[in-house]
Amino acid sequence: MIIKKVYLVTKTHLDLGYTDLAANILKQYIDSFIPEAIRIAKELNTENKKFVWTTGSWILNTALKKGTPLQVKSLFEAMKRGDIVAHALPFTTHTELMDEDTFRYGLDIIKKLDKQFGRNTVSAKMTDVPGHTIAMVPILREYGIKMLHIGVNESSAVPDVPDIFLWRFKDSEIVVVYNKSYGGNFSCEGIESMVAFCHTSDNCGPVNLEQAKKNYDHYKELYPEAEIIASGLDEIANDLWEIRDTLPVITSEIGDSWIHGSTTDPYKAASLRELMGLKSKWLEEGSLKRDSQEYEDFSDAILCLAEHTNGGDVKIMLSDYTNYLKEDFLKAKEKDIVENSVEALNAEEKIAARIISDIKEKEKPLAYSRIEGTWKEQREYISLSLSKLTNTHKEEAEKVLSSLIPNASFDSSLDKPCNNIVTGTFSLSDYLLTLNDNGGITLSKQGKIILSSPEKGSLIEYVSHNIEDVNEFFETYNRPEVRGVNWAYGDFGRPAFSLTKDKFPSGRFHYVIKSLKESKDSVIISLSTEKEISSKLGAPRDIQVKFSVQQEKFLIEMIWTGKDPNRIQEETIFRLYPLTDNRSIHFKKLGSYINPYDIVYNGNRNCSAVMDVKFSNSKGSYKIKSVHSPLVSLGKGKIMRFDNNYEDVKKDGISFILHNNIWGTNFPLWYSDNAYFRFEISPE
């Protein structure tokens, strides 16, 4: 293959957090990284382009708004010259968490910059997160995007797709380039150009001047007959678009195998959904205008809630590999001092000691309060979004959000167990609700069955994971070549966790009804599980579920109280049993319905973030809308067994994973707030 053009693409991966507080990262980009990139470009680009810095649109748009007058002037001129360019996406997101409007707002940023700087951006990039939903394809094409580059975290499973392919959904298609690292060199049969990626790591800024010179000279020497052009990704996107008809076609979903991180903070996840819902409501009723400053600022803050960073790096801010058991953990958290035992440091081929030895002195100290502070900061995007609203909108939003961490359950009279619980069938409007002792729901409307719980089916389950689960997940999800790599095990494993073997309850535990109250308009049940599961782990002590009907919708509302923080990996699961089969269920993402049984190998076949679940049977079509919790799993709920097998909805129903702390890296590792969730079931 003859290469006539080498596009030299220099890029840095933005994390809004992770290596430091997000506020410090933003300041670092505005005060240091962007000025340094401008300086390097000015020095090198005297005759032709030898250095161009590429980043997402959001950080550049924000720098143009928040920089000093001199910084703004300098950046504006650099973007006019093409020394700094944006790709089409704002930053890397957990794309499935967004609704259509929020995703579109992210693309509106590049349209605004293109208009400002006389460009037509046709390329987009996601980095780190291993995959995204096919539902974004029509929206990307609507905005004129021709190519999406996805660079995968170097420990994570890589979806089984061609390196370059045409991703087709409905009547739209885009070229997708996949790389098993943040960005590697690539080309394709049929074109005479290639990309040479010079990609720096998380929040590292651009390469220095000397390295920039070396990069250019290296490729000039490697391809002496080719033209070496420092550029963004648009050039290769246009070249690939011309030969798109020759590329292999993928029509399957890929999904996001990190998406389980979305419910590590149930309040944050619920707030994002409520804020997006209010935005849509206000736009529809006309009290919010798309061309207003209120819409732009509000949408910008909401967008940050879907950015893929959820806090600080657990390895450099906590690194406690001794205090996993609840009693030890709570004592250590109270002391706010990390003290690792010799036994923990020496366990498992000294992996904990190796991780700690990698921490630079400037990255310390290790402290519980420090890591918790980064999770708290991520919630501040909620407060930021509220601050951008008019008083009327703000009051409405504050009222809605205040219900998400309730002070009490629905009915305190149900707190005491009842000896004579009468489960069975209850009539609510034209719905018939049948409950078993485990809270499992059978639901019908005018004789048509919608949900059908097995005799012993559970409504609420709590899962506690042991060292065997941890090892299975690491070995099945992570690539073989990173099995002994310090950072990979620190992110995806639980170093020295083997020392806790057989010292706490593990497995799947179901809640049972302990009391019930029926009224004219509702049925409320109170559920609990074994006391030991709450005292030794993090299972909520009390859960109340309220069933009612509102405007033809069957409502299920849930409140949990009395949840302790717990470091041991856990999940709290809400299970429903749609009367359907595997061919008749679809998940709504970004406004489109996706088949959860058509996902590429090593995509996410376990769980998805969805707006609703649609299913049908011989009697009709129905929709389950999860107002607050995005994460749904086929079957019993599966995260830690990355086996690429589809679970059976007909047999095991579906599971909304309300909370989990499976993720390490930068996701919240424990949770103790009360929580409120709402589900709406209705005929289609």
1 confidence band (pLDDT: 50, 70, 90): confident
pLDDT single digits (tens) 57-94: 999 999 999 999 999 999 999 999 999 999 999 999 99
CB neighbour list of residue 680: distance below 8 Å, 6 or more residues apart: 553, 554, 555, 556, 623, 624, 625, 627
Give the CA angle between residues 96, 100, 101 to the nearest 5°. Answer: 125
Residue whose tokens read 């020295």 = 496
Confidence (pTM): 0.97
The enclosing H or E element of 381 equals: helix 368-387
Overall fold of domain 407-471+474-683: Beta-galactosidase; Chain A, domain 5 (2.70.98)
Distances in Å between the Cα of 213 and the Cα atoms of 108, 196, 210 are: 34, 14, 5
pLDDT single digits (tens) 303-330: 999 999 999 999 999 999 999 999 999 9
Residue 365, preceding peptide bond in cis (omega within 30° of 0): yes
Residue 478 scores a pLDDT above 90 = yes
Residue 606 scores a pLDDT above 70 = yes
pLDDT single digits (tens) 239-260: 999 999 999 999 999 999 999 9
617 and 639 Cβ atoms separated by less than 8 Å: no
CB neighbour list of residue 209: distance below 8 Å, 6 or more residues apart: 39, 40, 43, 44
36 confidence band (pLDDT: 50, 70, 90): very high
* Mean pLDDT, rounded, for 182-192: 95
Largest CA distance in the chain: 87
pLDDT for 522 equals 98
Overall fold of domain 5-256: 7-stranded beta/alpha barrel (3.20.110)
Mean pLDDT of the chain: 97
> Do 5-256 and 407-471+474-683 agree at the fold level?
no
pLDDT single digits (tens) 536-578: 999 999 999 999 999 999 999 999 999 999 999 999 999 999 9
Residue 422 scores a pLDDT above 90 = no
Dihedral sign computed on CA atoms, order 418, 424, 427, 433: positive
- Domain regions of the chain by residue span: 5-256, 276-388, 407-471+474-683
Q: DSSP letters of 154-213?
A: TTSPPPS--SEEEEEETTEEEEEEEESSS---EE-TT-SEEEEEEEEEET--SPPHHHHH
pLDDT single digits (tens) 363-400: 889 999 999 999 999 999 999 999 999 999 999 999 99
pLDDT for 420 equals 67
pLDDT single digits (tens) 161-180: 999 999 999 999 999 999 99
Amino acid at 291: D
The tokens of 200 are what?
């720096």
Percent of the chain with pLDDT over 70: 100
